[in-house]
Structure 1
Amino acid sequence: MKTAKQWFDDYAVSHQNETNQLVHYICVPLIFFSVIGLLMCIPNTFLENNIGLYNPLLENWAAVIGVIISVFYLRLGFWYFLEMLFVILLCIVGNFWLGNNLNLLYTSIIIFVVAWIGQFWGHKVEGKKPSFAKDLQFLLIGPLWVIQKLGKKK
């Protein structure tokens, strides 16, 4: 498996333009947030009926998928795992709040579509294809890359 630095270096190749970077700072978190919202909209009947112990946290598809993708981040490093775990939990809480005030499904779809339009526009400005066209794992690297760039850790 690649190291975090290798992932970040590969991701940065198609994210050199300042405008594209700014678009990513906005759109990548919005996409991540909206995907969590979309996952929370999936009926959880299967989870309720097939989890032996009652666990309200794991009776939500966003939490289940969050646990699964956390393994990817843990393999990159413990601190990356903690950062992304915090982001995942923040997105779940934010989407619970959003779902109490708006239709979560429609709002998540709108955020998702608008943010992806922004992403593709940013890559048009950059003149390079999105990294995930090369490897879908870059969809998980993007949010972590944004955190690292904004935190100036990289």
Structure 2
Amino acid sequence: MKTLDQWFEEYAVSHQNPKNKAIHYICVPAIFFSIVGLLMSIPSAFLNNLLHLNQPIIENWAVVVLIFVLLFYLRLSVAMAVKIAVFSFLCLMLNFYIGQFVPLWAFSIGVFVVAWIGQFYGHNIEGKKPSFLKDIQFLMIGPAWVVQNLFSKK
């Protein structure tokens, strides 16, 4: 099993250009955020009946998926899992409030599409294919790489 640093080293190979990096610092969190919104948009009657919490922020499919996402990060780094958990919670809260004013699924699809266009534009600038085309797990490494690069003391 690769360490988080090994994942980062391999991911960094196709993320050297400063413009591509800047695009990723915006688009990767936006994609993560939009996926949380899309998952929150899935009807959750089953979860409501199962849990009986009446808490829409935590009683939705996004929380179920995020538990597994956090387990992925936890096996790589406790510190990174905590950072992603904080970001995930912020995504849940913000998506909940956005959903009070606009259809969350439509807003999330818009963000998702625009962010992916940005990602592919960044890789066009870089001249290298996105890492996830080599290994799908890089879709999970991207958010951690952004957190590491934006908030680490280097």
Q: TM-score, normalised by structure 1?
A: 0.94
Aligned ranges 1:63-142 → 2 under 5 Å? 63-142=63-142
Q: Report the equivalent of 1:14.
A: 14
Letter in 2 for 1:134: K
Q: Report the equivalent of 1:4.
A: 4
Letter in 1 for 2:130: P
Q: Report the equivalent of 2:34.
A: 34
Alpha-carbon contact 1:70-1:81 (below 8 Å) kept: yes
Alpha-carbon contact 1:47-1:58 (below 8 Å) kept: no
Q: Report the equivalent of 1:152.
A: 152
Q: Report the equivalent of 1:54.
A: 52
Give RMSD over aligned pairs.
1.3
For residue 54 of structure 1, report the CA deviation from its aligned partner: 3.0
Q: C-alpha distance in 2, partners of 1:18/1:77? A: 26
Structure 1 gap ranges (5+): none
When the two structures are aligned, how many residues end up with a matched partner? 152
CA deviations 1:34-56 (Å, max 9, x no partner) are: 0000000011122234x3x4344
Q: TM-score, normalised by structure 2?
A: 0.94
Q: C-alpha distance in 1, partners of 2:58/2:111? A: 25
